[in-house]
Structure 1
Amino acid sequence: MIIHYKCPNCGDDMAFDSESGKLSCHSCGRKDTIEEFDDEFITTTFSQDEAKEYQCENCGAAVITDADTTATSCSFCGAGVVLADRLSGDLAPAMVIPFTISKEEAMAAFTKWCKKGRLTPKGFMTADRVKGITGIYVPFWMYDLNSKADVHAVGTKVRTYTRGDYIYTETKYYDVYRNIDLNYVKVPVDASEKMNDELMDKLEPYNYGSLKDFKTPYLAGYLAEKYNYTDNDLFPRVKAKVQKFIDSYISSTITGYSSVQYKNKHVDTRKRKSFYVLLPVWMVYYDYNKQEHTFAMNGQTGKVVGKPPISSGKVAAWFSAITGGTFVTLKVISLMLGGGLW
């Protein structure tokens, strides 16, 4: 089923506006709240299966999608459409964080971010090589977890003292036991096989207080995908993701020792709850020196992540400046200590 949201004023297509948080008509400027939008102005076309071809209700053109797409735009008339049959049943997201950064704001933020690159090539810093910028709702699983940790370690305290002509070193050994109960809430893991996991992890954190109950109008005018991996598929990854925080917390409870050696550390992490959400991401495709670079921007906070190209000339200049400064510093210290000229 393909969905269009029609403007009650002029009949043109409406899309979600990140600035106002409402459905907006680009033709007449009308804005409607998602919760109060009249079903009379929602048009639908039904498909019998998960075929990759749909018909645009607006102009009649074929809308071609891959099997994972849940929201897209008609390439002929530009209408934003939602493929609702791919958002139902087990594929229905529980919640969504709507875009709060518009395409224009995202482009401006990316340009500013490019200019901060001290070691990037000069041509790259102009940010005029953008091939495309796409707003996409990326599927994530969020987990509420409970971790129980049983820890046995040996801590030492070392004391050195002088008595007469002798220097003594005293080492005391302590058995350390910890039984820890930790809870983590809303730990996100992206569920799309197309997205780079490292990029998606670095986009965190989102403001999860802005999570809203999922409604299809939030997707109008953006791309969206359904998940490729279930919450059970991704459970090993979320366990690995929280492990470093568990290790850090355990370490923070064992302090005051000269050294700590772990004899046994058993951590049992279990899923209390998981739910499917869509999070907003601007994907920026940038062409430089005949190579395409991909960057991602958090569609709520504006945080940009990615690996820009590095200028070998700037790196050499930076290294020369550092080593030159070190050389001068050592000469000054030498003179202060009575040393001769180098």
Structure 2
Amino acid sequence: MSGPELPAEQTREELLERAILGEDVVFNAQEVSEETGVTLDEIRRLWRALGFPEHAGETAFTRADVDAVSTMSNVVASGLIDFDLAVNLTRAVGQTVARLADWEVTALVQRVEERGSEADPGTGGRLGSAMRIVEEFNAPFEQLIIYAWRRHLAAAVARVEALGGGEEEDLHTSQLTVGFADIVSFTALSNQLTEAKIGDLVELFESRCADVVAAQRGRVIKSLGDAVLFVNDDPIRSYDTAEGIINVIGRDSRMPDVRVGLASGSVVMRLGDVFGPPVNMAARLTAVARRNRIIVDATTAALLPGDQFEARRLPARPVRGFGIVEPVAVRRH
């Protein structure tokens, strides 16, 4: 089945889409179903999980879309995974790659503007520059994505193996120290800055935090613009991460102040995220911490060696979701 023919003329958006996808859209959902043997309902579930709105009867799919559905269908048919797990994996890929794509476009848009302004009008201006950058950048970037995925997959498998125990339920839980670093008064600060400066601030905050976390062998779980959530299996390294973030953010006169909360305990790891009381506690503690200070829960304080750290209990106070809590301020001797 070749699908209906495209109109002779295409819009700028369609030309860019064609350049990026490398092929035209020629199938509608019903035709994808007929080509793959996958039901319309299952195709809609996969497409929504990938992060795209449904297309009724319009032509919206490429041969690559058909091949992808066939590949997933074959994996399910092999018995390796069931369809619900296929949808979950598709959702994880969709959410991760969507953010990566937005990040890539944001990073490259200035370069597109620069090359477009330098181009001869006869070469297509900004559209021509965008298409040339796509042609030049896509292949090496795709190789980089595969390389990074393999590296992170190896690291993720190593983390699961390190959990030990052999019990299936244990594979989704781990004893970790969770850190939450938060920019102080970000809402008020963002009202004083231009949009460009807010973007630059967030990018610098996230990149510096990520560098510190990686240096201490931790992982950034998510960035929330004015906050970063990270984990580490070593409470001392978590403290060093928190101290490092304060050094590169809060003690830089060009950057805003930060507060960091640490909490330890059992967390559930699912689809690249972490859940559990320590995650919530770490976030709540930042509302208690003073500017450019580290505050921890009692569990984390007990894990930090007394010969290296000084712990000082703070007055008990209500913490949303936890009742009355005694936070602990810690610092190295």
Q: Name the structure with the higher strand share.
A: 1
Q: Does TM, normalized by the shorter one, top 0.5?
A: no
The alignment's TM-score, normalised by the length of structure 2, stands at 0.21
Q: Name the structure with the higher helix share.
A: 2
The alignment's TM-score, normalised by the length of structure 1, stands at 0.21
- Greater C-alpha Rg: 1
| Higher relative contact order (Cα pairs below 8 Å, separated by 6+ residues) | 1
